[in-house]
Structure 1
Amino acid sequence: MRKTVFPLPIRNSSFFFYVNSLWKLKMNNKYLSAMTLPKFSKKNDIDLMRTTITEVNEDGSVFDNNSSNVNSKIRHFTVNFGPQHPAAHGVLRLILELNGEEILRADPHVGLLHRGTEKLIEYKTYLQALPYFDRLDYVSMMTNEQCFSLAVEKLLNIEVPERGQFIRTMFGEITRILNHLMAILSHAMDVGALTPFLWGLEEREKLMEFYERVSGARLHAAYVRPGGVSQDLPIGLLDDIYAWATQFGDRIDETEELLTDNRIWKARTVGIGRVNAMDALNYSFSGPMLRGSGIPWDIRKVAPYDAYDKVEFGVPVGQNGDCYDRYLIRMQELRESLNIIYQCLNKMPEGPVKVDDWKVSPPPRAEMKENMEAMIHHFLLFTKGYCVPPGETYTAIEAPKGEMGVYVISDGSERPYRCKIRAPGFAHLAGADMISRNHYLPDMVAIIGTMDLVFGEVDR
């Protein structure tokens, strides 16, 4: 058995610390008398500003960590990782049980960003509920809107015009690039690579400008709506998107040059956070977390929506299920998204961008200035809303992080009776204990980064 000795006032030091009764109480009176303290000379004086703790054995000798004594093994202890940790990607609190630096157990505590979104939606019309979805995964906004809009359209039994479908698909892939840039490069920054993150922010600014030009907002766009999109593309936007796409491939190559064969990056990701196919299915993983384990599941392929059945793209799949495989998948998905954007630019048809039903989508502003009926429809749409036939539906899309699903129940009124949101990050975080077990504490940072967590959707 060993005892812990806390340093008492030391002479010949520039800083003096005097033990008081309060300090003794906090230490549960587990201090030794001055007789058992090791004697310090002026030569090996201790700087008490470093809060040094000396461990001694029963005989008074200084405890040696390298000793082969069985009784001198470090005991298990518990630490808090977050919620203020810079690598937690939000308000994540992990309670880690450690043996030295080895993780024995990880217990994620969620709910610190809970805002009651699902309950708030029950008190809003279907159109008023749409902006709440922008605030869920606030890194990939339009795909959240797309999921809810598809669910409402299924209940209303309406079909979006072809031009509206292609616009949704194009901006869905722009959103995927926005998300993967943040996911890959913030992951790299967490393990020490700073340069790619700054390059990625520059590209994200260009894409947010496209958001702003179609909706007026850089982040919370509310552009994709039930029935189509809020308005047509401004003049010249397609040309600017094409000009951006021609140079973005070079940026992907530059990022891969810095990371893919970097020995430090591979040391931090290869073999870290391995998930086999069975565990990935049991924990309901989706997106890159599932495809990294070798399962080629992509909702855009197996259940196409909008214009995904009119474009061609590949589904990258990993082999080892580790952080490095998931990084490679996201890098390849950047290229596939760029390919889809090219196809949407080339195949973009003419025509309306939303359904021609004034009870669901607002009439044109020019029409409202001349037609009283159009003005009345506009007023009723944004005040009372529209009644959705009774029914229920579960609609899922392939969001950048995985399967984003919405289960909507309608009772025939203009407000949802229930709206359950299935966020991919919630399922991924549930597997944090399984993924991180028997890894070391620094590996937890790489594992959180590869999960691509955003707590707006996890806590809801």
Structure 2
Amino acid sequence: MAPVIAGRIGEAIPVAVIDFLPQWPRAHLRGTSTSIDAANLEASTRRQLRPLSSGLVPKRTSMTMAASFVRAASRHAHSSKRLCRTPNLQLPSRQRQSLLFSRSISSTAPRRAEPSTTGPISAPNPETPGGPLATTISPTDSTFTKHVQQDSNLINKAPDTSLGDDYETRKIRHYTVNFGPQHPAAHGVLRLILELNGEEIVRADPHVGLLHRGTEKLIEYKTYLQALPYFDRFDYVSMMTNEQCFSLAVEKLLNIDIPERAKYIRTMFGEITRILNHLMSILSHAMDVGALTPFLWGFEEREKLMEFYERVSGARLHAAYVRPGGVKADLPLGLLDDIYAWATQFGDRIDETEELLTDNRIWIGRTKGVGVVSAADALNYSFSGVMLRGSGVPWDIRKSQPYDAYDKVEFDVPVGQNGDCYDRYLCRMEEFRQSLRIIHQCLNQMPPGPVKVEDYKIAPPPRAAMKENMEALIHHFLLFTKGYTVPPGDTYSAIEAPKGEMGVYLVSDGSERPYRCKVRAPGFAHLGCFDQISRGHLLADAVAIIGTMDLVFGEVDR
């Protein structure tokens, strides 16, 4: 049964009749400020309703408009909220009568608002005695948007101060946000569960393992030579340094010394790899905080270095060039000249990048004072590499425990002062220049001679010898099928990788396969203290902190 409006004159009239009024006064419908005389409006309403007396309104319903409704309409004619009105539908009398008692409008209250107790009480419905109550007009406030009753469940409800706290401070404080792994600044498959107070990070929970492949267990089922390509897949931005770390550990167990030329080649390509890594680190970090130009400029230099990788190993990414016993093959003709030509012009590219970033006020604002780590905390968190030197600790394994040809070259170790993201950026920019300095020395001091040990049980014989000597062919076949035995023992080998201290703990049981190979990845220790570093910073600062950590999840998850 359609709700009705109780009237003072005559009986009640259904509200749905308003939908079928052919010509409702325009001033009342649009809520303009035009004043309407109540008597004239009532008379006009009676004239409008008179044609509807046949078929639309029940017999017991009077066709007079309630004067109270007219007064209410004229009183609210100035309101900005207009009354609803549907077109005059030309339907058969039976359908219009059913529609009349099935539809109603409410022009005074929201759809789900609770009924007000301050207005008239709902009257019994005259159409269905004993049925649902008839709906009456409820008084509204001046804004015409909510009930006068303040305790109703409305959006613009008055503040509740019953708890005694300040209303402005009683808001939702902490909420959880998932950062990554789809986020472009997550650097792979990083997932952070951040607890935020507004935009301030209260707690950060890094989730690792999305790139876990069980590599350390797979190495136990491979020979020492077959295990080498797995190290290219750990830190897939610093490939040859990973190979170098594993090769040094195997050479310690084998108790062999590689030729001098192989040491210089390893050292030179180790610094080329460091430049490759720092280019990716700084440029992607700058792009994460909004600077796109350095990324485009720097990748042109990375392409040139990738070409050097391809010329010595045949692969741009997973080289497998540095092997136990030396390197895979000697340098091709003309490569040293091309490396020298590149090194002479790369210094200008470093200066161009610094012009874009170092004095940029936006870059300074996003990195200075962000992610500060003291020297004591950096040591307690087991930091290494730039993350440790940026906090003022001058620790570099190339200086303290030199390997290969690092004891024969001169270079400086850049150290930061404040331990923030800006200092770590400056350390990496200075390491560009120190790596160029080492490359120049390797080019000038490169000795002639072999590039691998001449023990054919460890390093494969040359192709020419395999065509002339049957014993060399047998050695080659056994080396790549069965492998070589390593004396029982264990050792730990550490190098200064571009991201920090890369370590390999290798255990041999005297067979052709490692009994255990444990990899110490620098990024895992750095990510472990993200919670302590990021607390108190904004959500946008989390991107800057992740970028300065230089994370690659191939080595973090392994």
Q: Shorter-normalised TM-score: what interval?
A: 0.7 to 0.9
Q: Contact between 1:227 and 1:361, CA under 8 Å: does it hold in 2?
A: yes
Whole-angstrom CA distance in 2 between matches of 1:331 and 1:190: 18
Q: Contact between 1:141 and 1:220, CA under 8 Å: does it hold in 2?
A: yes
Spell out, residue by residue over 1:240-279, the C-alpha distance to the aligned partner (whole angstroms, 9 max, x if none). Answer: 0000001000000000000000000000000000000111
Which residue number corresponds to residue 108 of structure 1?
Answer: 206
Query: Partner letter of residue 319 of structure 1?
Result: Q
2:421 aligned residue (309, 320, 323): 323
- Answering whether residue 230 of structure 2 is matched by residue 126 of structure 1, we say no
Spell out, residue by residue over 1:33-54, the C-alpha distance to the aligned partner (whole angstroms, 9 max, x if none). Answer: 62279x9xxxx9xxxxxxxxx9
2:483 aligned residue (366, 374, 385): 385
Whole-angstrom CA distance in 1 between matches of 2:500 and 2:258: 24
Which residue number corresponds to residue 278 of structure 1?
Answer: 376
Whole-angstrom CA distance in 2 between matches of 1:184 and 1:362: 39
Which residue number corresponds to residue 27 of structure 2?
Answer: none
- Structure 2 matches for 1:81-120, cutoff 5 A? 81-120=179-218
Whole-angstrom CA distance in 1 between matches of 2:169 and 2:217: 55
- Structure 2 matches for 1:253-332, cutoff 5 A? 253-332=351-430
Q: Contact between 1:36 and 1:60, CA under 8 Å: does it hold in 2?
A: no
Spell out, residue by residue over 1:305-340, the C-alpha distance to the aligned partner (whole angstroms, 9 max, x if none). Answer: 000000000000000000000000000001000000
Query: Partner letter of residue 373 of structure 2?
Result: V
Give SS of 2:227's match. helix
Which residue number corresponds to residue 172 of structure 1?
Answer: 270
- Structure 2 matches for 1:408-427, cutoff 5 A? 408-427=506-525
Which residue number corresponds to residue 198 of structure 1?
Answer: 296
Whole-angstrom CA distance in 2 between matches of 1:55 and 1:383: 77
Which residue number corresponds to residue 15 of structure 1?
Answer: none
- Answering whether residue 541 of structure 2 is matched by residue 443 of structure 1, we say yes
Whole-angstrom CA distance in 1 between matches of 2:111 and 2:424: 56
Which residue number corresponds to residue 234 of structure 1?
Answer: 332
2:246 aligned residue (141, 148, 151): 148
Spell out, residue by residue over 1:152-205, the C-alpha distance to the aligned partner (whole angstroms, 9 max, x if none). Answer: 000000001000000000000000000000000100000000000011110000
Q: Contact between 2:178 and 2:194, CA under 8 Å: does it hold in 1?
A: yes
Give SS of 1:315's match. coil
Query: Partner letter of residue 69 of structure 1?
Result: Y
Whole-angstrom CA distance in 1 between matches of 2:256 and 2:199: 56
Which residue number corresponds to residue 34 of structure 1?
Answer: 112
Query: Partner letter of residue 303 of structure 1?
Result: Q
Shift of 1:104: 0.6
Query: Relative to 1, partners in 2 of residues 1:36 and 1:167: Cα closer, same or farther, differing over 3 Å?
Result: farther
Shift of 1:60: 8.0
Identity of aligned residues (%): 81
Shift of 1:73: 2.5
Give SS of 2:113's match. helix
Q: Contact between 1:311 and 1:343, CA under 8 Å: does it hold in 2?
A: yes
Give SS of 2:158's match. coil
Whole-angstrom CA distance in 2 between matches of 1:305 and 1:229: 15
Whole-angstrom CA distance in 1 between matches of 2:344 and 2:414: 22
- Structure 2 matches for 1:218-233, cutoff 5 A? 218-233=316-331
- Answering whether residue 505 of structure 2 is matched by residue 407 of structure 1, we say yes
- Answering whether residue 285 of structure 2 is matched by residue 187 of structure 1, we say yes
Query: Partner letter of residue 400 of structure 1?
Result: P
- Answering whether residue 450 of structure 2 is matched by residue 352 of structure 1, we say yes
Query: Partner letter of residue 214 of structure 1?
Result: V
2:349 aligned residue (251, 254, 266): 251
Which has the higher mean CA deviation after the structures are superposed, 133-142 or 71-80? 71-80
Which residue number corresponds to residue 428 of structure 1?
Answer: 526
- Answering whether residue 137 of structure 2 is matched by residue 59 of structure 1, we say no
Whole-angstrom CA distance in 2 between matches of 1:55 and 1:217: 66
Spell out, residue by residue over 1:92-137, the C-alpha distance to the aligned partner (whole angstroms, 9 max, x if none). Answer: 0000011000001100000000000000000000000000000000
Say which one has the larger Rg. 2
1:157 aligned residue (250, 255, 273): 255
Which residue number corresponds to residue 432 of structure 2?
Answer: 334
Whole-angstrom CA distance in 1 between matches of 2:436 and 2:111: 71
Higher RCO (C-alpha under 8 Å, 6+ residues apart)? 1
Query: Partner letter of residue 313 of structure 1?
Result: F
Query: Partner letter of residue 331 of structure 1?
Result: M
Shift of 1:223: 0.1
Whole-angstrom CA distance in 1 between matches of 2:456 and 2:168: 79
Which residue number corresponds to residue 364 of structure 1?
Answer: 462
TM-score of the aligned structures, taking structure 2 as reference length? 0.72
Q: Contact between 2:159 and 2:167, CA under 8 Å: does it hold in 1?
A: no
Give SS of 1:312's match. coil
Shift of 1:72: 3.5
Whole-angstrom CA distance in 2 between matches of 1:68 and 1:269: 35
Spell out, residue by residue over 1:226-249, the C-alpha distance to the aligned partner (whole angstroms, 9 max, x if none). Answer: 000000000000000000001000
Query: Partner letter of residue 386 of structure 1?
Result: Y
Whole-angstrom CA distance in 1 between matches of 2:354 and 2:306: 23
Which residue number corresponds to residue 137 of structure 2?
Answer: none
Whole-angstrom CA distance in 1 between matches of 2:525 and 2:114: 53
Shift of 1:208: 0.4
Shift of 1:69: 1.9
Which residue number corresponds to residue 173 of structure 2?
Answer: 75
Whole-angstrom CA distance in 1 between matches of 2:201 and 2:114: 35
| Alignment RMSD (CA, Å) | 2.4
Q: Contact between 1:82 and 1:94, CA under 8 Å: does it hold in 2?
A: yes
Shift of 1:75: 1.9
Whole-angstrom CA distance in 2 between matches of 1:361 and 1:254: 44
The answer for unaligned runs of 5 or more in structure 1 is 1-10, 13-31, 45-53
Equivalences, count: 417
Query: Partner letter of residue 432 of structure 1?
Result: F
Query: Relative to 1, partners in 2 of residues 1:365 and 1:446: Cα closer, same or farther, differing over 3 Å?
Result: same
TM-score of the aligned structures, taking structure 1 as reference length? 0.87
